[in-house]
Amino acid sequence: MTTDRAPAESDPAESDVAILQEVAGRILSRTWGDNFHSGYWESDDDISPNEIAQWRMNDVMIKKLGVSRGQRVLDVGAGVGAPAFQLAEQTGATVVGVAITRSHVEEMRRRARQRGLDHLVSAELVDALAMPYPDDSFDAAWVVESFINIDRAPGLRAIARVLKPGGRLLFTDVLQPTRPVADTDEARAEMLDTMEMGQLPTREQYLRWVRDAGFVDVEMIDITAHTRSTGERIAAGIREHYDTLVAELGPEGAEILEQMMTSIEVEYVLTTARLPEAGAASS
């Protein structure tokens, strides 16, 4: 997705973010799984495998989004489609996945055909800040950690434009933690720069952006305790395959590998909101 580092009029598939996502996706597919997002563990005693925790996170999101058969969902930053497939299979909703990494779009299309879901799930090479869809095109949208690489305020406005009145939004993202952290400013700056993360917003900033985009009934839930095992488990997977990955990805890939093995402290939130119904005043 386009960030403030790359002008929206440039080819998004050639942007630094698209290149990063291509490399990061290859790393995650090898070391973590096809869900390019955090897992969800029930408690500190939960030793569920990575894949189970990833599917559980999808379950949590699907239940919170609350869509049903015949509705149309926009998946912003869809990766190779694993959450979209689970959403379509469980609800019967139609899912349009958008991404700026060509290999992800092609792979998502291939997997949809392979799973017999291409009648419900499609993938398109689209910049979230310049979507070609008409107003009021979708019943719901979700953004699964993809706001990390999107300029959030205009991204929220772009999504609001293509949602129908009453349309629902769900997203997961990371915020500045309110508790003291052990990370140095240098370590945090290096992480944000290498991983093309524009900033870590505060909760207050984020809530303002969501409401300014026209959304109401905003619920922001801190699920940090359920997701914090993700970083250490990804790091363990990378260490196991490190030499092979460095040989495959080269020096630039090695820099991304190092950052993906170095977690910074964040607050991880799951947020839901909706647009007002037609004729209703927003508040």
- Determine the 3-state secondary structure of 156 from DSSP: helix
Of 6, 50, 33, 265, the C-alpha closest to 149 is 6
Helices (H), the chain: 16-31, 50-65, 82-91, 102-114, 152-162, 185-194, 203-212, 224-227, 229-260
**H or E stretch covering 172:** strand 163-175
Buried-state track 245-273, b at ≥16 Cβ within 10 A, e below 16 = beeebeeebeebbebbbebbbbbbbbbbb
Catalytic residue (choose from 22, 51, 89, 145): 145
Give the full edge-to-edge strand order of the sheet including 267-274: 121-125, 94-99, 72-76, 138-144, 163-175, 267-274, 216-222
Active site residue 145: yes
- DSSP at 134: P
Q: Which residues are catalytic?
A: 145
